[in-house]
Each structure stands twice: as structure tokens, then as C-alpha cells.
Chain A
């Protein structure tokens, strides 16, 4: 009697155990290819594509060894016997072909194949013959991977192989027979009655050659590609009691922004140094082959980009009161976009107030300026990206018919910027184009503080978008903005730390700054201002159409940004800044 039980409600469904392997363990779910770092190497299946023969698809340098080499003759292959197909008649080959192949492999042909070095020369199926050597030179065999791809593409059913014996070394004379022709069939790999891989494969045969993560293989993988990611660089683990930001990153900006080498051999925390710039530079500081066999357990689990030795606690999700309706959300986003825009401009102005590294002689200052300029530009670019995302969110809301009227695009920079007063109380200050003096830098840090002014704006957006009426993609987009914003705070603090090595003398500009004043928008600064206006114009057109559909204008805006960069740099050397507003 078959018993049928159908779980109905959620607790019943959760309690039922379904027989069989989960879908994730099936071959078709795998990332399988032919590199052995993954869970399955297809070549291990195809090595027995022809019953009775075992091939190897591995090339070595010499042309004599390229292609599919016969490594074994398996005359006991179960598929050569009719008994193997008793309970799966649908898979069975023509009995006469089966009998003849078995006899040949057990007879004279088989004995010939056991002497010397045999390779696959041609395969024929359905009236087509594929020669496994280059078109114009029969002496130049195809490499193993190409050969394998061709073999892999064979369909189940009758096939004819030609095997050719090759000299073991150059100049060796090959006795007869030099070629053997075998008629057989492409193996049906999976028993179609039971759904399991056929018995021809010995235990371990399909998994042979796979890497064992955490051991020797993990050291130098040729493809640097792992089924489970092997990070190169990570952030250091939190020290017990270390203050962290709400994002989970260290409150110490240096620790929050300094990547370390995950494979480093010296695991003493106090001696942990920043990773070098390239893999080659890091190599000599990393665990070596035998060391990793011995100490693989010292390698840290990495979650959210950071090493984690203790129990991992995910961040609690952002909580805030949602906005009441799509219109209110769109208006909120519109306001946020103006804010993103104006701070991007303030940051850009501040960026060009930093001296060009080529202008300074002190090598330490030059290095610091390269770093600081790079970081400020990254933050400004990130704000521009936020501007685009906020506009995309608005556009998506409008496009999905959720808003009652049109809100976007939002491309006017705000005139007021949130700030903190001396007592730490928030207030709105007028927008301003200023050089990156220590005070201004501190204001930037305050704006970007976690749950401070800008990032806090997105918490409500996120909570609102979590409601079922909004498409889930929007929630993901907003979540990206929050994750991205967290880094700004940390990066500005890192900048502050680096610049502190070059204090300003009383009454003087700090050594890293240009004494910049905004250029006249109608005079010296006109060219740069015009470029900026053109960028905004292009974005206006693009965002109005939904940027996915109008990549041309975005690309044009990007192109003009390079011109603007050049113009700003020129103005900067003359002591002027771009008059954005």
C-alpha cells in the first residue's frame, strides 16, 4: 500500500523530510567545468565514454603526448556484458556490436592496444567523421582540451573510433598494427532506470584529481578559482572590546580600511601588516605548501570581508518607521538626491584644493597626496553613484505606477547641508565650496557618520521598500547605498589621520593645500562651469528616460567628466576652484 502524505501548512512542510539528495548536490547544479578546483571534473566521466577503454585527456608539452591517450583496457567493463542491461533494456546497445567489441578487446586487438602508446585519432558518428588533428597537418594532434570537448559532444548511440599508435619518443619505429578501428557506442553514463551512475566507474574515480580545499592544493591553484571563494585580502578580525561602527567595521579607520593577506604565515595579531599591492609581492609572506597542510585550521573564516574567529552575529536589520506612501517616498528620495548632489560637489571642490602630487617635493607628502586624492575622488564618485541610484529609485517608483505624479529626475543640488554644531546638535548650514582644511574635513566626517545625516536618510527608505507593495529589487538597491555609505565615514577618518602628519603652521595654509578660491563662473571658471552644466544636462535626459534605456547620455556625461577633471586641475594650479554653484 502506498501511503500518501501531503504537508499543508508551514510547520508541516518544515517537518517533512523529502527522500533523496537536495538539488544543490546534483551535477546540473554544479559550477562544474574542467578545472579541478570545483566539485566535479567532467573529464573524469568522459574518460570511459567508450565501453572497455579508458582515456586520459591531459596534455603535456610534446606533440607526441597531446590528445586523448588510452591509459587502460577494461575488458571487465560491465557494459560489455548483456547482463548489465537486464533491468534497463532501453539503454542496451545492439547485442551483436556488444559481442563483437568484447571479443575484439579480449582478443588480438586488445593485446595490440596494451603495447605502446595509443591515442584517439578519429571519431565517427551519424555519418560524420572528426579527425583529431589540425586541418592542414595530420602530424599535429589537437590538444587534450579540444579533443575532450569533441568527445564530450558525442551523443549516445553508435560510434566508430580509430586509434593510432604513436612513438614513445621521436624517431622510434612503430610495429604493426599502427591503427585500430573499433565499432561500439557512446556509453550511457546514468542508468536510466535507477538514475545512478553506471557501475563501470570505480569508487573514487569520478572525484579523483579534485582539489582538496584547505590542504596543499589550496596554496597555489593554477586557475585561482574556487567553488568556495578563497579570498586574497581581508580585513582584520575585531579585537575583543574593540569599538565598532554600526556597520560592524572597526571604529579605528586604519583597521577598517587596511586589507591584510588572508594566507599570511605570521598569524600574530600585533605583527599583522597591510597586504602588499600584488600577489607576487605577498607570496613570500604567505603560508607555504607544507605549512598549509599543517596549519590550515589557522586560516580564518571570512564573513562580510572580515576575518571572524568567534561566533558570528549578523547585523540587526535597520529599523526605522516607514514612509507612509509611494509619493512621500519619492519626495524623500528627491530630497536625498539633492543632498547627494551637493555633497559630491563640495567633495570635488575640496579634491582640487589638494596639491597635485607632482607639485610637491617631500616624498612622504607626495605619497600621502596620492592616497588622499584617490580616496576623496572615490567618495565623490560614490556620492554621484548614490545620486544616480536615488534617481533610479524615483524612476522605478514612477514607472511601476506607484506614485500619483512625476517626481524625478532630481538634479538640483541642495542649498542647505546638514551639519553638527559645537555641541554636537544637528543644524542646516548653507552649502559652500571650501578647501579641505581640517575643519572642513571634520564637517565631512560628521555628515557621513553612521546614522548621521545622509546615511540615516536611507534607513527609512529601506524600511519602506521592505513592504510587500514595492518590488524587491528596489529594496536591494537601497540596501547597496547604505552599505556603500558606511565606507565614506571610515575613509574620511583615514584621510584625517594621514593628513594629521602635516600640520598647518599658525596663519598658514597646510602644506598639502592650495589656497583656492572659486573662479568666476562668467570669467576664468566659465569653461569648467559649462562642462559641469553639460554633465547635469546629459544626466537630466538620461534619468528622465530611465537610465537603463539611455546609456548613451550616461556615457556622454562620463566622457565630459574627464574634460572637467582636466579643467579643474588647470584651474587648481592657478589658484582657482570650479564654481559649481
Chain B
């Protein structure tokens, strides 16, 4: 329910700011054989009969009250005040350097615009101390990121050991995640990831050709082959670790289905894609004209995945699986992600930043492990980014599903591809009732552990 709580501010701000302009949409209507009504607040999805659907379409355009009269439930919600608590997740940039030199890397090949750095052990442990001290019994997550985190293996190993001991003493649970290119992993590392139930996110773009085009090893070997060789034992037997591939889509090749196929062939069961929006190599980023085609590609990949599900498999296209899960839960958030509210990133020299993509950028600095997290900076950051205060977000029906777009990307490139996001969400909203009807066990897991 925390997703709703943050809506409180939103109403007061709406009333203040939008007195003069048209009210933001409160409903999104999706026509079809089984028409759908999506109530924006609370992300509530209903199937309705055609008569009612038509009546609502007409009344919404005229601004009368068919919606209230039919639904007999509050269309606008009000929540209590949002309380900013301490983050329950951090990522440690343990190696701000990388053995690969991917041309599109947001992190400037791991260095974030400065010289390569390795996080000293005391910085890592200090950040973990703070995380757990403020955890107040909640489950916490420590993520390891870079650059390439396996370049600082000792700090990785010792941090995990330390976090486990500390969490045990404090009576809280701790989970781990890592984002890696996979190329440096040893058999010991694989066992380590299994033992500690890591969520492993491997940056790999597709087959060898697709991958090696931008993900280049400094020693001119195929980074694909090196990564796959190191990853195979983990993919064959992940134990209790969860392994997912994450593929970056550039404008030079917008195909999604083929990448998923290639990565599934390698052995991944969970595969996600992200379109490149900002990059030092600007010719690779998607442009306004690319979004319609990318949307088509996403839907094509989703349809293929859905066909597999209909034949008895489970979802492997994680963009789709996550969207369906969020729709099922009625995720409704005024921000795009947990950054700052529930998650911060720690740079190699101990600075807190809003997330792993803004490390070393002073505009996104949130304090340091020596001075502590700045409550004021966090509040100001979140206050300024509330989706109801963003343009053109505040007049978009998908605003609480989308949250307004990645802070780091918006700061650099503004908002683009909004039609793509709406199109993708609408596709998922249409698919959701089918999944619920035909394969409910895939999403309606009432006993699932909420992490």
C-alpha cells in the first residue's frame, strides 16, 4: 500500500497548480471485445459491458458523472502523508572501472567521468553498517555494481560476509544483488553467488555478433565468448541464485525477439531489454522517430513470449512479466523507481548518490557515509520529481504506472518516447485479463513471499 501513500501530496499540489488548466485524466478506456476501464488513481482495472463502456466514453468527454454513478466507489483516492524512511537498499560501486569498453556505457566505462577507482573495504563496510543500523528489522538489500564489481573481488566477498554477520546480530534479513558483465567470474565466484542467493544481472546484448559489436573487451577477445564460458556453470545450476540477462537496445538494431531468443539459447530464463536513451555515443541512442518501431518490436517479443506461455512455459521476457505483475498489484507510484526513497548508491569514495547511474554527479549527491544521508536533499529531490508536477506527465493517464521516466535520463535528454510507454502499457493492460483468465497461477500468487 505504500504506493498509494505517496499520493497524498499529489492532491494538494494538484489543487494548487492546476486550477486554471484542464483536470488530469482520471480514467483510461481500452476498447475491444471485452472493454476495459482503467482508473488512474489506484491503478484499478475493470472489465465492463459494452453499454457501460459507451456511456463512460461519452460522459468522460462531456465531464458528467456516469463513472461515479456506475462504479459506486471513489474515483479519486486520498492517502495519508508520505513518511520518508531510511533506504532499505544500497548499491556499492565497488569498482569504478571495467575490463570491457562498451561504447554506449552510461558510466563512461565504469569511471563515471573521472579516473578509475576501487572502493576500499572500510567504505563498503561503513555503508553496510549504516544500512543495517537504520533497517529497523526490515529486509535490506546490498547490491554490487560498477564498472565491473568482480574487479574488486575481495571487497565483494568480505562485504557479503560482514553484512550477513551484522544482519544476524541485528535480527534482520539481507539479500544481495550484483550487476556484472560475467567475463571475470571464476568457479569459486559462481559457488559464492549460489551460496548467498544472489540476484545476478548479467549485461549481455544477444548473440556473439550483436554483443561484441558494442561490448568490446580491451584485449580484443570476444567478450561474448568469455562471458558465456564463465556463466555456463551458473546457468546450468543456479542453485538458489537468480540469474537474468539484460540487453541494451541501440538504434542501430531495434530487434527484441531475436535477442531474447539468442540469450535464451545461452541458457537465461529471465531476459530483459532496455532501450538506450542517453549515451556518450549519441548516434546510438534512440530518437523520437525510432519509438514507434521499437514499440512494434516490444509487442512482437511479448506476443512470442505469450505464445510460449500458452504452450505451458512461464514468462521469460522480464519486461513483460514485471509489467503484468505491477498491473496485477495495482502498482501506483508518483515516481519512476525506488531511487532516493528506498534506494541509494554509494560511490567508491563513500558518497551517496541518487542511484548507480548518477554516481559522481554533484547534482545528484545525497551526502556521504561519513556525514550521513541528507534528509533535506532527499526530500527536495523527491518533492521536485513528483510526477504530478512534471510536464507533460501530469496530463497523462499512465503517469502512476510510469512514474515520469528515469531521473538520470530525464536530466540529460528530457522526456521522449512517451507514446511508446503508453502503447506498451496499454498492450500489457490488454494482455493482463487474458493471463488472469487462462494462466492465473502465473500472476495471482497470493502466498508469494513479498520481498
Contacts and interface: CB of A to CB of B under 8 A. Distances in A.
**Is chain B a partner of chain A in the same complex?**
yes
Interface of A: 1-12, 14-17, 316, 319-322, 324-325, 451, 463, 466-468, 472
Given A5-B46, A11-B329, A472-B447, 17 more contacts: A3-B51, A5-B70, A8-B45, A9-B330, A10-B329, A11-B42, A11-B44, A12-B46, A14-B330, A17-B73, A316-B137, A319-B139, A319-B172, A321-B197, A325-B240, A463-B173, A468-B448
A1 B239 CA distance: 57
Nearest to B73: A15
Contacts of A324: 194-195, 197, 239-240
Contacts of A6: 46-48
Contact of A11 (B37, B197, B239, B332): B332
Given A12-B330, A324-B239, A468-B448, A7 B46 contact: yes
B167 A8 contact: no
Contacts of A14: 330
Interface string B77-94: 000000000000000000
A4 B49 CA distance: 5
Given A3-B70, A17-B72, A468-B445, A8 B433 contact: yes
Interface of B: 36-37, 39, 42-49, 51-52, 70-74, 137, 139, 164, 167-168, 171-174, 194-195, 197, 239-240, 327-330, 332, 432-433, 436, 445, 447-449
A8 B240 CA distance: 33
A322 B197 CA distance: 9
Nearest to A11: B330
**Residue picked from A1, A11, A321, A472, most chain B C-beta under 10 Å:** A11
Contacts of A451: 171
Interface of A (DSSP majority class): loop
Interface of B (DSSP majority class): mixed
B44 A7 contact: yes
A14 B171 CA distance: 33
Contacts of B447: 468, 472
Contacts of A11: 42-44, 329-330, 332
Nearest to A451: B171
Nearest to A466: B449
Contacts of B436: 8
A321 B44 contact: no
A8 B51 contact: no
Contacts of A467: 449
Nearest to B69: A3
Nearest to B72: A17
**Residue picked from A5, A324, A325, A466, most chain B C-beta under 10 Å:** A5
Contacts of B168: 320-321
A15 B39 CA distance: 11
Nearest to A2: B49
B25 to A, nearest CB: 17
B409 to A, nearest CB: 28
A9 B449 contact: no
B76 to A, nearest CB: 12
A9 B428 CA distance: 13
**Residue picked from A6, A14, A17, A467, most chain B C-beta under 10 Å:** A6
Given A9-B329, A11-B42, A4 B171 contact: no
Nearest to B327: A9
B328 A10 contact: yes
Contacts of B330: 9-12, 14
A316 B139 CA distance: 12
A12 B42 CA distance: 8
B47 A468 contact: no
A5 B48 contact: yes
**Residue picked from A5, A8, A14, A322, most chain B C-beta under 10 Å:** A8
Contacts of A8: 36, 45-47, 432-433, 436
Contacts of B36: 8
18 contacts: A1-B51, A2-B49, A3-B52, A3-B70, A7-B46, A8-B433, A9-B327, A9-B432, A10-B329, A11-B44, A11-B332, A12-B44, A17-B73, A319-B172, A324-B194, A324-B239, A468-B448, A468-B449
A284 to B, nearest CB: 46
Nearest to B77: A15
Contact of B44 (A1, A9, A316): A9
A512 to B, nearest CB: 37
Contacts of A17: 72-73
Contacts of A5: 37, 46-48, 52, 70-71
Contacts of A3: 48-49, 51-52, 70
Contacts of A7: 44-46
B159 to A, nearest CB: 15
Contacts of B173: 319-321, 463
Contacts of B432: 8-9
A3 B37 CA distance: 13
B172 A9 contact: no
Contacts of B139: 319
A373 to B, nearest CB: 35
Nearest to B448: A468
A319 B240 contact: no
Contacts of A16: 73
B44 A319 contact: no
Contacts of B48: 3-6
A26 to B, nearest CB: 23
Contacts of B37: 5
A519 B47 CA distance: 78
A53 B73 CA distance: 47
Contacts of B327: 9
Given A7-B46, A9-B329, A319 B449 contact: no
Nearest to B328: A9
B57 to A, nearest CB: 14
B267 to A, nearest CB: 20
B422 to A, nearest CB: 18
A451 B168 CA distance: 10
A4 B432 CA distance: 19
A339 to B, nearest CB: 18
B198 to A, nearest CB: 11
A467 to B, nearest CB: 6
A472 B194 CA distance: 25
B167 A321 contact: yes
For the complex of A and B, the 6 pairs showing the least CB-CB separation, nearest first, are A11-B330, A12-B44, A4-B49, A324-B240, A319-B173, A6-B47
A51 to B, nearest CB: 40
Nearest to B51: A1
A467 B449 CA distance: 6
A8 B330 CA distance: 10
Contacts of A463: 173
Contacts of B43: 9, 11
A319 B74 CA distance: 37
A325 B39 CA distance: 42
A451 B73 CA distance: 47
Contacts of A322: 197
Contact of A4 (B52, B240, B332): B52
**Residue picked from A3, A4, A16, A320, most chain B C-beta under 10 Å:** A3
Contacts of A4: 48-49, 52
A579 B239 CA distance: 44
Nearest to B163: A321
Contacts of B174: 321
Contacts of A321: 164, 167-168, 173-174, 197
A325 B241 CA distance: 11
Contacts of B137: 316, 319
A324 B241 CA distance: 9
A15 B38 CA distance: 13
Contacts of A10: 328-330
A322 B329 CA distance: 25
